[in-house]
């Protein structure tokens, strides 16, 4: 196996996978059926990072084509892949982000393909939770909550938030009960998840990094002042 680039879904670290991080097994379905012969590949990857070392597990399905060079089958066209571990492709966000917000985001991501409308409902609740927590907004609907922060965030960020209200069925029902389940297209549900990731990065992570930098400057200044007094 040639080394290949890979980003760990557990720790989000870009890395290179070599033979000692990778294991795969293959199985071929050669029973006559209406779908055709199939090849299944089970792929295990262990994150090389010593701080992570977590397992990822994938299943890939390909067409199986009778080989012209030997008695077996060769891998044909790719059909589908499943990620079994971790059980979601959601990004891993820091623990200083409230647990309820991270849980809603992860659940919305996990159920995205199975039920876009349920995913969208969780995403809407997550977005409202972020606005309430980060901006201390007390409005009783997502529609009102978004309007309440219009003059408190930069125009581009607010425009990204407000644009979601105008998307299909979500936009038509956003001013109603946050727990109302509605018909939602998969691309609409994905758009909401993308918005959550944007806001988590722009609000919580940037604020935390800014606080760390400012606290470091303050600590240096305090240390200098203490040394000056001793001298």
Q: What is the pLDDT of residue 166?
A: 61
The tokens describing 103, both together, are 């849980």
Query: CA 182, CA 64: separation in Å to the nearest integer?
Result: 41
Tell whether pTM > 0.85.
Answer: no
What's the CA gap between 152 and 138, in Å, rounded? 15
- Sorted by where each begins, the domain ranges of the chain are 4-85, 99-217
Establish whether the linkage from the previous residue to 5 is cis, with ω within 30° of 0. Answer: no
Give the DSSP letter string of 38-87.
EEEEEEEEE---TTT--EEEEEEEEEEEE-SSSSSEEEEEEEEEEEEESS
Q: Are 195 and 127 in contact (CB under 8 A)?
A: yes
How does pLDDT run along the chain (231 residues), one tens digit per residue? 799 999 998 888 899 999 999 999 999 999 999 999 999 999 999 999 999 999 999 999 999 999 888 888 999 999 988 888 987 778 889 999 999 999 999 999 988 878 888 888 888 889 889 999 999 999 888 788 889 999 999 998 888 888 776 654 455 455 556 665 557 778 888 888 999 999 999 999 999 999 999 999 998 887 777 777 776
At residue 160's C-alpha, the angle toward residues 205 and 211, to 5°, is: 20
Q: Pairing mode, if any, of strands 73-85 and 55-66?
A: antiparallel
Residues 6+ apart with CB under 8 A from 146: 131, 158, 161, 162, 165
């Amino acid at each position: 196996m040639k080394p290949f680039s890979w980003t760990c879904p557990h720790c989000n670290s870009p890395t290179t996978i070599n033979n000692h991080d990778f294991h795969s097994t293959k199985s071929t379905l050669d029973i006559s059926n209406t779908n055709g012969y199939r090849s299944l590949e089970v792929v295990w990857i262990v994150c090389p990072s010593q701080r992570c070392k977590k397992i990822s597990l994938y299943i890939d399905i390909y067409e199986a084509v009778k080989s012209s060079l030997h008695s077996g089958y060769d891998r044909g066209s790719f059909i589908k892949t499943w990620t079994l571990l971790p059980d979601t492709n959601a990004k891993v966000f820091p623990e200083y982000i409230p647990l309820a917000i991270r849980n809603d985001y992860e659940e919305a991501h996990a159920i995205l393909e199975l039920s876009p409308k349920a995913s969208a409902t969780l995403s809407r609740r997550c977005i409202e939770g972020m606005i309430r927590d980060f901006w201390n907004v007390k409005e009783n609907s997502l529609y009102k909550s978004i309007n309440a922060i219009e003059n408190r965030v930069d125009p581009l960020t607010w425009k990204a938030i407000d644009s979601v209200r105008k998307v299909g069925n979500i936009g038509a029902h956003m001013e109603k009960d946050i727990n109302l389940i509605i018909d939602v297209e998969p691309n609409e549900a994905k758009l909401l998840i993308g918005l959550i990731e944007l806001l988590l990065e722009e609000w919580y992570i940037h604020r935390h990094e800014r606080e760390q930098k400012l606290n470091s400057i303050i600590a240096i200044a305090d240390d200098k002042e203490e040394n000056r007094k001793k001298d």
